[in-house]
Amino acid sequence: MAQKVSIDPFTRIEGHLAISLDVEANRVKSAQCKGEMFRGFEQIMKGRSPLDAQQITQRICGVCPVSHGLASVFCQEDAYNMQLPENARLIRNIMLAGNYVQSHITHFYHLSALDFVDVTGILGYTGNDRFLLGVKDWVKSEVASKKLFPAAPFLPRYEGEYLTEAQGNISALRNYFTALDMRAMAHQLVAIFAGKMPHMATLVPGGVTEKITTKKIALCRSKLSELRTFYENNYAADVLAVAGAFPSYASIGRGCGNFLSFGVFEDMANNSSQMLFPPGVLIDGKFSQLDTKQISEEVTYSKYSSDSGFGTTKPQPAKSGAYSWLKAPRYQGEPMEVGPLARIMVAYQSGQDSELNRATKKFLSNTGLTIDQLDSCLGRHAARIIETEVIIKNCEKWIEMLNPTKPTCVDFNLPSSASGEGLVEAPRGALGHWIEIENYKVKGYECVVPTTWNCSPMDGRGVAGPVEQSLMGTYVADKDHPIEAARIVRSYDPCLACAVH
Ligand code: NFE
């Protein structure tokens, strides 16, 4: 008989998620992904000046505000029919690059690694690094104290197999703390032209209001160089160490098998009109060009009235059978995985030559993994390090291309009526904003968001969302400590604040 297993609240993610599993003979039979709150940003936008859109919608999230800000100015610039100067496009690439690096470092060290790394491994430390000795003393006294929440945020935790190799645990724990400084460094990189982070002050339709100076260029170089060093010496190695210790996770956590990328980063360093990370769609392994008209939002199991969907959001909290505040986005009626793994899958399967494709091939050849094995829990972690390397390398070139003598934005006239589409890839995947303007005011505003795709509930055909499908069939050794399920869900880096928006 199936037993109910609940992970609620699901911690070490952003926002409010509950996971509900039916487990029979230690196998997950079915899974429900529940977004637990309503926010209403699309309603907030109605009747306001369109020029406020990028400031308001950035507040959907403190983790990926650059992406929401960009999607918002992109849909406005589409509506206002604008062309941007090179400096503006370069600065936006640099700001988004900084946000990606920040987001991926946070996801690995502060959210996911604690599922694999054994913090109590520090108790075996015998060196003379004073910082690590201090951490060791702290963990020792916390573990001994038998407090309700000893050594938060490291303990308590689900029991299970953790990394046993002492050096790996000590290195990951030391880097947990260094990564806090690196997050700040990445935020500072964004803030050089954003004015502040999170929630950039300088982003406007037409460009970026902050001017370029040689001092700011030098600051960008120095912040990025520290991030590059951390990536090369620590982040990539720590992900590979975890992957090497948990090889079985390259064969579990496969999602719905369909992937979607909107494409991101104008490939300015290579003077190409293409995107550095190409757009595209993979359904059953078959590549096709992106057509956003194929996007819909389903609400059969969502807490919205039955006439809700793409462009219409009417909350119905007590709706019978509904179990999530997320809508269920679909492409040609199919669930789609989005995010770092989708980006590398689309780049790889498109068959086109791109830096991301070459980096993925290099990774596969260095690790001996196959492209199919990347469609897994570990593959999502690997995808983040693969793309981070490409982003850092290109960002170095974008910084050198900045020209202090040229403008960073252009002026425009606000039309009384217009509509526009803004597409970007946020760190967690495909993000779209759509705006409709009437009489100089926002008449309609729609966001279709990465975690809404990944954590979507079932649709009217009974087809589960990508995270739900990832969990089905998973072996759970101990239903009171479902760490296998937790590792799979966290590999998606869910942000429920964004997902419900
Ligand atoms: Ni709140 Fe976000 C990213 C967006 S995820 S973090 O990345 O858009 O849904």
3 state SS for 232-271: HHHHHHHHHHHHHHCHHHHCCCCCCCCEEECCEEECCCCC
Q: Could you tell me the distance, in angstroms and rounded to a whole number, from the CA of residue 407 to the centre of ligand 1? A: 30
- pTM: predicted TM-score of the whole model, two decimal places: 0.96
pLDDT at residue 92 tops 70:
yes
- The yes-or-no verdict on residue 150 having pLDDT over 80 is no
How confident is the model over 473-487, as a mean pLDDT? 97
CA of residue 452 to ligand 1 center, whole Å:
9
Question: Residue 145, exposed/middle/buried by CB under 10 A (0-12, 13-18, 19+)?
Answer: exposed
Ligand 1 pocket: which of 33, 54, 58, 64 to mutate (most atoms within 8 A of CB): 64
Which range (155-164, 355-364, 411-420) has the least confidence? 155-164
Pocket test for ligand 1, best of 498, 500, 501 (most atoms within 8 A of CB): 498
CA distances from 97 to 21, 26, 130, 427, 446 (A): 36, 42, 34, 9, 25
**Residue 20 DSSP one-character state:** E
pLDDT at 342 (0 to 100) = 98
Residue 473: pLDDT band (50, 70, 90) is: very high
Pocket of ligand 1 (CB under 6 A): 14, 61, 63-64, 67-68, 426-428, 431, 449-451, 495, 497-499
* Alpha carbon of 451 to ligand 1 centroid (Å): 6
Domains in the chain, CATH or no CATH each: 3-116+163-499 (1.10.645.10)
Percentage with pLDDT > 70 across the chain: 99
Q: How far is the CA of 266 from the centre of ligand 1 (A)?
A: 20
**Ligand 1 midpoint to CA 493 (Å):** 9
Count of alpha carbons within 13 Å of 414, Cβ hemisphere only?
Answer: 15
